[in-house]
């Protein structure tokens, strides 16, 4: 056979094999985490683990509720801050800003996205925590340290700005100029056009950007860990300390061997995080499909 054709078929097979390898890593992770968490799951019912809020490994209490709620609080706060800001910022960049400004800001966003999370953490400890503790909380008559889910949410929001803005800008740039003209030529103002036509048309893309950002927010560890306080309690207000799941794993990984079931509990935490992110992506994919059909 011709050597060129042999090469061709080899490349095809090798690349298929590599793809299989990459996919099997995902399965191996699930399998590994699952088998390691089995001891905990055999010891206690999964419902107890997820709904109990007492975490004291020494006594054998492994309630995951504080960590789940910590993750949910921090993620939600960051989204509440980031989503409106990013939508408006990207609308400004695409619809109002000059080409010069846009060409200056977009590369800057990529630089921001590349900054290591630990730097955001340091910035959070040096600036966000003191401001939240010294200025914001006192406004509500509270006296706290500032290490709280609110600080975590702010730091996380700032971290997901770049990815959200750059995806949203790309989405908005795909909206055809003529669609805008169609609305403008009916006598709509620019803001009416943005609100009622552009954002509506861009909705699936904007949701996709938010989903990507949330996936990142769920898993973000180090920066959040540095400003959240890390107390295993269910946060009751913005200014309470929280303890997100990734922080739990990162903080305790070294000592886990000494206590029975602790090791298994941390593996379960990892599995939980995996399942949450996986499920979240699946659901949002479904929502997106339905939205795209509608528009």
Partner 1 sequence: MYTYPGIETEETQDIILPAAPHIQIKDLNVHIEGKHILKNINLDIPNNSVTSIIGPSGCGKTTLLKTLNRLMDDSKNVAVSGSVLVNGEDIYAKDAEVTHIRKKMGLLSQRPFPLPMSIFDNIAYGPRIHGERNKKVLAEIVETQLKNVGLWDEVKDRLDSSATGLSIGQQQRLCLARGLAVQPEIILGDESTSALDPISTQTIENLLIELKKDYTIVLVTHILRQARRVSDYILFVYNGEIVEFGKTEDVLLYPKNEITQQYVKGFIS
Give me the least distance between CB of 197 and partner 1, in Å please: 5
Nearer to partner 1, 13 or 200 (CB): 200
Interaction of residue 196 with partner 1, rule CB under 8 A:
yes
- Return the residues of window 168-187 that contact partner 1 according to CB under 8 A: 176, 178-187
Dist CA 107 CA 113 (whole Å): 10
Site size toward partner 1 (CB under 8 A) is 22
* DSSP-derived 3-state class of residue 229: strand
Give me the least distance between CB of 290 and partner 1, in Å please: 12
Site string for partner 1, 85-124 (x = CB under 8 A): -------------xx-------------------------
Region near partner 1 per CB under 8 A, out of 120-128, 197-205, 240-248, 273-281: 197-205
Helices within the chain (DSSP H only) = 3-43, 46-51, 65-91, 99-114, 117-123, 129-131, 137-139, 149-173, 177-184, 190-193, 199-219, 222-227, 245-252, 262-294
Among 189, 237, 258, 289, binds partner 1 (CB under 8 A): 189
Nearer to partner 1, 31 or 181 (CB): 181
Among 28, 56, 108, 192, binds partner 1 (CB under 8 A): 192
Give me the least distance between CB of 291 and partner 1, in Å please: 10
Tell me the C-alpha to C-alpha distance, in Å, between residue 156 and each of 27, 174, 223: 29, 28, 8
* DSSP-derived 3-state class of residue 242: strand
How far does CA 181 lie from the centroid of its chain? 36
Dist CA 235 CA 241 (whole Å): 6
What residues make contact with partner 1 under the rule CB under 8 A? 98-99, 176, 178-189, 192, 196-197, 200-201, 294-295
């Amino acid at each position: 056979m011709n050597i060129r054709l042999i090469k061709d078929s080899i490349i095809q097979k090798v690349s298929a094999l590599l793809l299989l390898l990459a996919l099997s890593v995902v399965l191996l992770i699930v399998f590994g985490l699952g088998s390691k968490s089995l001891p905990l799951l055999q010891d206690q019912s999964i419902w107890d683990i997820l709904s109990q809020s007492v975490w004291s490994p020494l006594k054998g209490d492994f309630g995951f509720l504080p960590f789940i709620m910590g993750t949910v609080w921090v993620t939600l706060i960051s989204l509440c801050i980031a989503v409106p800001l990013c939508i408006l910022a990207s609308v400004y960049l695409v619809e109002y800003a000059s080409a010069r400004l846009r060409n200056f800001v977009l590369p800057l966003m990529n630089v921001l996205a590349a900054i290591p999370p630990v730097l955001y953490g340091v910035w959070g400890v040096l600036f966000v925590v003191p401001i939240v503790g010294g200025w914001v909380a006192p406004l509500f008559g509270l006296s706290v340290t500032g290490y709280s889910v609110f600080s975590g949410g702010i730091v996380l929001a700032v971290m997901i700005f770049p990815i959200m803005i750059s995806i949203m800008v790309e989405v908005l740039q795909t909206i055809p100029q003529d669609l805008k003209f169609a609305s403008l030529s009916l006598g709509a103002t620019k803001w009416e056009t943005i609100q009622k036509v552009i954002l509506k048309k861009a909705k699936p893309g904007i949701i996709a950007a938010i989903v990507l950002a949330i996936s990142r927010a769920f898993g973000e560890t180090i920066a959040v860990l540095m400003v959240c306080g890390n107390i295993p309690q269910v946060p009751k207000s913005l200014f309470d300390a929280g303890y997100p799941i990734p922080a739990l794993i990162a903080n305790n990984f070294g000592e886990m061997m000494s206590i029975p079931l602790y090791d298994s509990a941390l593996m379960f935490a990892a599995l939980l995080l995996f399942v949450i992110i996986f499920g979240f992506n699946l659901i949002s994919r479904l929502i997106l499909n339905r939205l795209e059909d509608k528009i």
